[in-house]
Amino acid sequence: MRNAFIQELVALARQHPHIALIVGDLGYSVIEPFAEEFPDRFINAGVAEQNMTGLAAGMASEGYHVFTYSIANFPTFRCAEQIRNDVAYHKLPVTVVAVGGGLAYGALGYSHHAVQDYALMRTMPNMQIAAPGDPMETRACMRYLVEHPGPSYLRLGKAGEPCFHEVPPEVNPGQWLKIREGDEEHVLLSTGACLQMAMEWANEGKLGNRSIYSLPLWSMKDKDIQIKNLQSRKEVTTLEDHLQDAGFGSWLLEARVQDPKIACTINLMALNHTVCGTVGSQTTLNRIGGLTI
């Protein structure tokens, strides 16, 4: 996903001279193509994420669409106040990019466990969450965010994720993307890199005949349009590599309770809190955390 991100960012920057990239002294071996082609629009802010975000907000107020890039929690929790007050409140075109969502950097411990980031970012009224399920959805989300500039959070996996689309799909906030045909009354809805896990389970026959959907764009403002998706279904299982509390499944539950007539059952597959004090590989921590069938 991160390679698709930088490739798409370079392509978009060739078309849009107002696109800039700021990194927090991370991203080496990934961000070089942008830095080399657009040195006047690339800044390494150093290990100073709060300053990085404040700088991004200032540049955005002068007409740039700025992408800030770092690992896991560093561009989010470390500078939550700057995102909330400087970026989201003023509706500025800053895209916060976190690579290694979920437990992708699980071997580095709790400081690198990005399992509470949805909870933080989705409570900001003007923040659009982009959580693509594969490299093609990453490209699609990038194009949408540039065409619709504003505060946004792009949550990426780490590397090596397979593609489930032949070309970048059309994406819109709150829109479910069908990945696998099947039973439409009992479906699995994934966000982010967990799509790979869902497809592996499906290929192993663990999901029965359920249809599988991906939801790469969602936010506080996109709950109302979920009602139509839920009305025609008996059961939706959500899948995310985030703690259950205040995560993606909780977001869908909040959408459901807006209409008491909806009979659809929503089951949440998410991480439990035991992973917060555990170090290990992503696969091991996902299993310990409950993402298994």
Residue 106 pLDDT = 95
pLDDT at site 248? 98
Q: What are 124's two structure tokens? A: 């900001």
pLDDT value at residue 148? 98
At residue 236, the pLDDT reads 98
Q: Which domains does the chain have, with CATH numbers?
A: 2-156 (3.40.50.970), 177-288 (3.40.50.920)
Whether pLDDT at 102 is above 90:
yes
Does the structure show a pLDDT above 90 at 178?
yes
Task: Note the pLDDT of residue 200.
Answer: 96
**145/29 Cα distance (integer angstroms):** 24
Query: Looking at the predicted structure, is the pLDDT value of residue 206 above 90?
Result: yes
Q: What is the pLDDT of residues 234-286, one digit of tens each?
A: 999 999 999 999 999 999 999 999 999 999 999 999 999 999 999 999 999 99
Q: Per-residue DSSP letters for 26-84? A: --TTTSHHHHHH-GGGEEE--S-HHHHHHHHHHHHHTT-EEEEEEETTTTTGGGHHHII
Give mean pLDDT, residues 121-146. 98
Among all chains, which residue has been given the structure tokens 């359920």? 210
Whether pLDDT at 159 is above 90:
no
pLDDT at 146 over 90: yes
Q: Which residues pair with 269 in a beta bridge?
A: 239
What pLDDT is attached to residue 53? 98
Write down the pLDDT at residue 72. 87
Question: Residue 100 carries which DSSP code?
Answer: S
Rounded mean pLDDT, 42-70: 97
Residue percentage of the chain with pLDDT more than 90: 97
Over 90: is that where the pLDDT of 158 sits?
no
CA angle 158, 154, 141 (to 5 degrees): 100
Residue 155, phi then psi, degrees to nearest 5: -105, 115
